[in-house]
Amino acid sequence: MSAIALRGADIRAQARSGLLAGPTCGLAPDYLQANLVVVPEDLAFDFLRFCQRNPKPCPILDVTEPGSWEPRQVAPGADVRTDVPRYRVYRRGALAEEPTDISRLWRKDLVAFLLGCSFSFEAAMQRAGLPVRHLEQRCNVPMFRTNLPCTPVGPFRGPLVVTMRPLTPSQAIEAVVITSRYPQAHGAPVHFGDPGAIGISDLTQPDFGDVVTVRAGEVPVFWACGVTPQAVLMEAKPEFAITHSPGCMFVTDRLAEDVC
Amino acid sequence: MSAIALRGADIRAQARSGLLAGPTCGLAPDYLQANLVVVPEDLAFDFLRFCQRNPKPCPILDVTEPGSWEPRQVAPGADVRTDVPRYRVYRRGALAEEPTDISRLWRKDLVAFLLGCSFSFEAAMQRAGLPVRHLEQRCNVPMFRTNLPCTPVGPFRGPLVVTMRPLTPSQAIEAVVITSRYPQAHGAPVHFGDPGAIGISDLTQPDFGDVVTVRAGEVPVFWACGVTPQAVLMEAKPEFAITHSPGCMFVTDRLAEDVC
C-alpha cells in the first residue's frame, strides 16, 4: 500500500500497535490531523471557552465526554489513549514523561481536546505548487511568541504563538486564498512582513522549532499555531495534563477538504 | 427611493435619459459594474483572446454579437449605446470626443465587450469594515503601469496596469480573502509590499488617478486594473474604438454576489 493511499485509521492503527512512534507529518495527507490536549474536568470548561474565544490558534475539532477516550465526531471508535504515536505528560506544568501509550494514566475525570493543526493546509499549499520552506529544508517549522495577546479565560492566558513560512508576495497572496479555506487548520495568516509589528525581534531566533532561510524577494508570512494552547496550558501549571509530543499528531477520519 | 435600493436597470435608465452623465462609483452597489470596450469586428477575436489569456485585468462579463448593442448575458434588453453615462471615442488611438450617447456612431461591424471592474470588490471590502483609502479621500484610485507583461495576442500587448490600496498586513490578509471571491472583478491582488518588485518607482507618481496616503504600518496592495485592456487597446491604435469615460461604468443586472 502506498503512503498516499493510507487512511487516518491506518495511521492510528500503526500508532496503537507501536509501529509508529514518531512524527505524522506527510502521513495520510488527505486527512485532518489534530493537536491533542487532555486536562481534568475541573479545567475543561475554561479550556474549551479559551479555544472557542481564540479560534485561529485553537480550532476545535472534537471534545470527548468526561472520562471517555473516544473522539466520536472526528474518529468514531478511535482511542486517544493509544492512537497518538507519542505523548507528553505534564505534572504541575513540568514535563514528566513521553510515553507512547497513556492507558495506564487515564482517569475518569479526563477530557480530551482535538485541535486543528497546520499539516492539512501545508499539503494544500504543496498541491498548489507553493514552497513550504521547512519541508524543503527537512526541519521543523519555526515558531515565535508574539506580542498579540490571546483572549484570556479563567487561568488560561498568554501570547499568540505563530509559525512562519517565507513566500514571495504573489505566493503569499495565493497562500492566503488557499489557507483561508481551512479554518479548521488555523485558516488564513495573521500577519506578513515586518516581524517587529507583532513583537518578533529576530527571525533567526525562533522560540520553538528550527530556523529556515528567507530568500531575497520573500517576505515572512505568519500563521496562528497550535502550540499556543499548549503554551497557555503550561503557563497555567495544571496539576495534570497530557498532550501529543511535538509533530506526533492524532490523525482523524475527517478529510481536510470536508466543509465542516 | 434611497440609493441603496437602486437596481442596475435604474442606473442605466438614468444614464439613458441624460440624468446621469458622471461616475457610477457607489451607485447600485449590489450590482456588478463593467468597463466597456467597443471595437470593429476585425479586431474583436484578437481582443477577446487577449482578455481570455489575461483574466485578472480583463474578466469577461459579456461580448455582444457583431452589430448588436444588447449585452444579453448580463443585462438583457439594455443598450450599450445609451446606457453608459459618458463615453470616449478614439480614432487611430487618439481621443476624438466624449459624448453621452453613441447611437449615431454605431456601425454594423462593432462588437461590445463588458469587462469586470473593481467597484464591486471595494463595496465588499467596505462591508467588511476595511478601509478603501481613495474613497475616504474622495479621489480616484491610484493606478500604475508595472513591468509585468500581459500575454500578447495579435496587435494587443503591453504591461499590466494595477490599482493600489494601502492596508495594514492583517487588513491585507482579509482583503485577499474577500477579493478572491470576486474573480469577475479582478479577484485577489497580484502583489503587495515593495513597489519596485513590479517596476513601480514612486508611489507618489501614479500613471493614472490620484495619489493616496500610505500610513505608518500600512503596505501598498496592488490589484489588476481594468485600465489594462484600455491602455493595450490605445497602444494598438485601432482605426476606431469606443470605451466608457473613466469611472462612468455600465451597471449590469448581475449581483456581485452571484457565483457566475
pLDDT at A175 over 90: yes
Are A192 and B169 a contacting pair at CB < 8 A? yes
pLDDT, tens digit, for every residue of A18-37? Answer: 999 988 988 898 899 999 99
Task: Report if residue A149 sits inside a domain.
Answer: yes
Place of cell 469577461: B60
Residue A196 sits in which domain range?
Answer: 119-229
Report yes or no for ipTM above 0.85.
no
Domain co-membership, A187 together with A134: yes
Q: How many residues does this entry show for chain B?
A: 260
Least confident of A10-14, A153-157, A242-246, B24-28: B24-28
Look at residue A140 in the predicted model and tell me its pLDDT.
86
Look at residue A4 in the predicted model and tell me its pLDDT.
55
Task: Tell me the torsion sign for CA atoms A144, A148, A150, A156.
Answer: positive
What is the C-alpha separation between A60 and A71, in angstroms, rounded? Answer: 12
Interface residue B191 vs chain A (CB under 8 A): yes
The C-alpha of A119 sits at a distance from chain B's nearest C-alpha, in angstroms, of: 20
Look at residue B121 in the predicted model and tell me its pLDDT.
87
How high does pLDDT run on average in chain B?
93
Mean pLDDT, range B144-150, rounded to an integer: 97
**Long-range CB contacts (within 8 A, 24+) of B120-125:** B120/B32, B120/B33, B120/B182, B120/B184, B120/B185, B120/B256, B121/B178, B121/B179, B121/B182, B121/B185, B121/B186, B121/B223, B121/B256, B123/B29, B123/B30, B123/B256, B124/B178, B124/B179, B124/B181, B124/B182, B124/B256, B125/B175, B125/B178, B125/B179
Residue in chain B lying closest to A216 (CA): B197
Domain co-membership, B111 together with B29: yes
Task: Report if residue B260 sits inside a domain.
Answer: no
Domain co-membership, B137 together with B71: no
Q: How big is the CA angle at B67 (ends B65 and B68), to the nearest 5 degrees?
A: 60
Place of cell 494598438: B236
Domain co-membership, A249 together with A184: no
How high does pLDDT run on average in chain A?
93
Q: How big is the CA angle at A70 (ends A65 and A72), to the nearest 5 degrees?
A: 85
Percent of chain B with pLDDT over 90: 86
Interface test mutation site (partner A, options B56, B173, B179, B180, max chain A beta carbons within 10 A): B173
Residue in chain A lying closest to B193 (CA): A169
Interface residue B189 vs chain A (CB under 8 A): yes
Task: Report if residue B124 sits inside a domain.
Answer: no
Residue in chain A lying closest to B219 (CA): A193
pLDDT at A14 over 70: yes
pLDDT, tens digit, for every residue of B74-88? Answer: 999 999 999 999 999
Least confident of A10-14, A150-154, B123-127, B164-168: B123-127
Domain co-membership, B50 together with B143: no
pLDDT band (50, 70, 90) for residue B1? very low
Q: Which residues of A touch B194 (CB under 8 A)?
A: 169
Q: How many residues does this entry show for chain A?
A: 260
pLDDT band (50, 70, 90) for residue A259? low
Interface residue A172 vs chain B (CB under 8 A): yes
Are A169 and B217 a contacting pair at CB < 8 A? no
The C-alpha of A205 sits at a distance from chain B's nearest C-alpha, in angstroms, of: 22
Residue in chain A lying closest to B192 (CA): A169
pLDDT band (50, 70, 90) for residue A1? very low
Look at residue B258 in the predicted model and tell me its pLDDT.
77
Task: Report if residue B38 sits inside a domain.
Answer: yes
Mean pLDDT, range B143-155, rounded to an integer: 96
Q: Which residues of B touch A174 (CB under 8 A)?
A: 188
Interface test mutation site (partner B, options A146, A176, A219, max chain B beta carbons within 10 A): A176
Domain co-membership, B23 together with B40: yes
Are B197 and A190 a contacting pair at CB < 8 A? no
Look at residue A119 in the predicted model and tell me its pLDDT.
86
Q: Are B178 and B164 in contact (CB under 8 A)?
A: no
Are A172 and B191 a contacting pair at CB < 8 A? no
What is the C-alpha separation between B199 and A60, in angstroms, rounded? Answer: 44
Nearest to A169 among B170, B173, B191 (CB): B191
Look at residue A256 in the predicted model and tell me its pLDDT.
85
What is the C-alpha separation between A84 and A13, in angstroms, rounded? Answer: 9
Q: Are A30 and A38 in contact (CB under 8 A)?
A: no
Strand A191-192, strand A31-40: pairing: unpaired
Phi, psi of B29 (to 5 degrees): -65, -15
Q: Which residues of A touch B193 (CB under 8 A)?
A: 169, 193, 219
Domain co-membership, A8 together with A106: yes
Interface residue A197 vs chain B (CB under 8 A): yes
Domain co-membership, B107 together with B172: no
CATH number for the domain including B36?
Answer: 3.40.1640.10
Mean pLDDT, range A199-227, rounded to an integer: 96
Interface residue A193 vs chain B (CB under 8 A): yes
CATH number for the domain including A153?
Answer: 3.30.2040.10
Task: Report if residue A260 sits inside a domain.
Answer: no
Segments in chain A forming alpha helices (H)? 8-17, 41-53, 119-127, 133-136, 169-179, 227-235
Most confident of the ranges B26-30, B67-71, B123-127:
B67-71
Task: Report if residue A128 sits inside a domain.
Answer: yes
pLDDT band (50, 70, 90) for residue A3? very low
pLDDT at B3 over 70: no
Domain co-membership, A128 together with A146: yes
Domain co-membership, A112 together with A241: yes
Residue in chain B lying closest to A221 (CA): B169
Domain co-membership, B168 together with B187: yes
pLDDT, tens digit, for every residue of A101-147? Answer: 999 999 999 999 999 998 888 988 999 999 999 999 988 899 999 99
Mean pLDDT, range B205-222, rounded to an integer: 96
Q: CA separation (Å) from A200 to A164, A186, A195? A: 11, 20, 5
Q: Are B48 and B90 in contact (CB under 8 A)?
A: no
Q: How big is the CA angle at A186 (ends A180 and A191), to the nearest 5 degrees?
A: 75
Mean pLDDT, range A75-99, rounded to an integer: 96
pLDDT, tens digit, for every residue of B99-119? Answer: 999 999 999 999 999 999 988
Task: Report if residue B157 sits inside a domain.
Answer: yes
The DSSP annotation for A33-68 comes to: EEEEEEEEHHHHHHHHHHHHH-TTT--EEEEPPTT-
Task: Report if residue B144 sits inside a domain.
Answer: yes
Look at residue A25 in the predicted model and tell me its pLDDT.
85
Mean pLDDT, range A50-65, rounded to an integer: 95
Interface residue A176 vs chain B (CB under 8 A): yes
Secondary structure (3-state) at A29 = coil
Interface residue A139 vs chain B (CB under 8 A): no
Distance, first Cα to last Cα, chain B: 29
- A199 or A246: which leads in pLDDT: A199
Percent of chain B with pLDDT over 70: 98
Give how many domains chain A has, as a whole number. 2
Nearest to B169 among A173, A174, A191 (CB): A191
Percent of chain A with pLDDT over 70: 98
Nearest to A169 among B170, B177, B192 (CB): B192
Domain co-membership, A183 together with A247: no
Secondary structure (3-state) at B39 = strand
Residue in chain B lying closest to A177 (CA): B177
